[in-house]
A and B are shown apart, each in its own frame.
Chain A
Amino acid sequence: SAVISQKPSRDICQRGTSLTIQCQVDSQVTMMFWYRQQPGQSLTLIATANQGSEATYESGFVIDKFPISRPNLTFSTLTVSNMSPEDSSIYLCSVDPGQGYEQYFGPGTRLTVT
Chain B
Amino acid sequence: DQQVKQNSPSLSVQEGRISILNCDYTNSMFDYFLWYKKYPAEGPTFLISISSIKDKNEDGRFTVFLNKSAKHLSLHIVPSQPGDSAVYFCAASVTGTASKLTFGTGTRLQVTL
Q: Which of B14-22, B56-64, B76-84, B101-109 contacts A (4 or more CB under 8 A)?
A: B101-109
Nearest chain B residue, comparing its CB with the CB of A107: B43
Chain B interface, number of residues (Cβ within 8 angstroms): 23
> How many angstroms between the C-alpha atoms of A96 and B99 in the bound complex?
7
Output the nearest chain B residue to A6 by Cβ-Cβ distance.
B43
Partner of B46, one of A104, A106, A108: A104
Which one of A1, A48, A102, A105 has the greatest number of beta carbons of chain B within 10 Å? A102
Q: Hey, which chain A residues are within 8 Å of B65, CB to CB? A: none
Q: Of all chain B residues, which has the CB nearest A58?
A: B100
B93 touches A107 (CB 8 A): no
Spot the interface stretch: A39-47, A61-69, A70-78, A79-87. Answer: A39-47
A102-B49 in contact given A42-B103, A92-B43 (Cβ < 8 Å)? yes
Contact B98 A103 (CB under 8 A): no
The one of B98, B99, B103 in contact with A43, judged by C-beta atoms closer than 8 angstroms, is B103
Q: Are B100 and A107 within 8 A (Cβ)?
A: no
Q: Specify which of A45, A101, A105 is in contact with B44 (CB 8 Å cutoff).
A: A105
CB-based contact A45/B46 at 8 Å: no
Q: How far is the CA of A1 from the CA of B99 in the complex (A)?
A: 15
Contacts of A4 in B (CB 8 A): 43
Say which residue of B42, B46, B105 sits within 8 Å of A107 (CB atoms). Answer: B42
- Interface residues of B, Cβ cutoff 8 Å to A: 2, 4, 32, 34, 36, 41-46, 49, 89, 93, 98-106
Q: Can you list 12 residue pairs at the A/B interface with Cβ under 8 Å?
A: A33-B99, A42-B89, A42-B103, A43-B103, A44-B103, A45-B100, A92-B43, A102-B49, A104-B46, A105-B36, A105-B44, A107-B43
